[in-house]
Structure 1
Amino acid sequence: MILSVSKGRIFNSFKLFLKKKNINIEEEKRKLILKTNKKFNIALLKQEDILYFLLNKHIDAGLIGYDFFLNNLKKYKDKICVKKIQKFFSCGLYLIRDKRKSIKKRSMVISTKYDIIVNKFFKYKKLKIIKMNGSNELAISLNVSDYIVDIVDTGTTLKNNYLKKIYKIVDIFPLLVYLKKNENIILNKLEFIL
């Protein structure tokens, strides 16, 4: 069985979670498929690629963030199952601005990777969304936008760049995704994370 885990925050937190469950993972050393001492291996993928590998049956299940699900996967609800799993990490998606500037505009300019979530959340507001795939914090500093919407975990990047959280849009937590037809097998083999 192959469980795909997205690189970065989710994988780093998942490793600590597995260690507490006495599940060992072989050392990474730039490997993309890691063996465990249980009946599954871990494939390291970007969240954006997990759906392709899952729908084409190259992996059995994937771990993604709730933010990614909301922004990308809702349209596949008829093909995949989505289960909220034990929280081995949590953070939030926030509206953020520069704490040194006052903003008096009636319309909002927001740079974000999460355009679908932002459009839905601010559907009655007059706003312009600038789609970015990273470096959102820089967009405020270089006057590209007045606000950003981004994930905040520790808040260190915000603090170091004179930014502050204005409003939490949604909590972010891990989700297990898998094909509906494989539900019994997946839930049986991966019961330790549910």
Structure 2
Amino acid sequence: MEWLTVAIAKGRIEKDMNKIFYEIGMGDWIDQGSRKLVFEDHVNLIKYIFVKPVDVVTYVEKGVADLGVVGKDVILEQEGDVYELLDLQFGKCTFAVASFPQNKQFRLKNNIRIATKYPNITKKYFQKEDIEIIPLNGSVELAPIMGLSDVIVDLVETGNTLKANGLVVLEEMMPISAKVICNKVSYRFQYEKIMSYTRKISEGREKYNENLSIN
């Protein structure tokens, strides 16, 4: 029987997935205190690799991993040729346009300057507008403050960082959450095992979400 390889985004998604694994009795194979990046479940024949979120789609699309767990934001920005199999319903946040309150009429401006870590998503969303995209890797909130941009496009969870810098959400774009993605060839040739594994993850997600609501 063939092994499945699952690429998991390091960070918050990794922590949430570890909790799901324990809900379904598959958590003993991953040492959360270790710096190892690869773990093998010899009972279920599943190999887990932990990679940076921006690399998950690449590992899955290229067939190094059969499945991946990553945020929808990364999937959209990377524009990978993969299947989405399951919405895990955690890691929820919102893509939004933000700036100072007085810039709420930003769409009336010619050549809107938009600072963002997500140029592909921004370009698609504003495809009918006259815009200049300013790619940034750091804190995009600084861009309108320093006059580099009119608005920013970023993920917003609590809005606390925006508020602390005098910014507000001007326009909500789309909701984001963690997804399970699949390599298209793997989906064809390992369909039964992938579906079985995805069902277990779905069950674990339900249990995990129930415990969150109780607590």
Cα pair 1:3 1:60 within 8 Å, conserved: yes
What are the within-5 Å matches in structure 2 for residues 1-194 of structure 1?
1-24=4-27, 25-34=30-39, 39=44, 40-74=46-80, 76=81, 80-99=82-101, 101-102=102-103, 106-107=109-110, 108-183=112-187, 184=191, 185-194=193-202
**What TM-score results when the alignment is normalised by the length of structure 1?**
0.82
* Cα deviation digits, residues 135-188 of structure 1 (max 9, x gap): 211212222112111111122222222221111101101222222232213222
* Aligned CA distance change for structure 1 residues 181 and 58 (closer, same or farther; 3 Å): closer
Structure (1 or 2) with the greater helix fraction: 2
Displacement of 1:130: 0.6
**What TM-score results when the alignment is normalised by the length of structure 2?**
0.75
Compute the RMSD of aligned alpha carbons: 2.5
* Cα deviation digits, residues 80-131 of structure 1 (max 9, x gap): 32223231331111111134x5477613211012222212211222221111
Whose radius of gyration is greater, 1 or 2?
2
Q: Distance in 1 between matches of 2:41 and 2:145?
A: 44
Displacement of 1:73: 2.1
- Structure 1: gaps (5+ residues): none
* Aligned CA distance change for structure 1 residues 37 and 28 (closer, same or farther; 3 Å): farther
Q: Structure 1 vs Structure 2: percent identity of aligned residues?
A: 26
SS at match of 1:28: coil
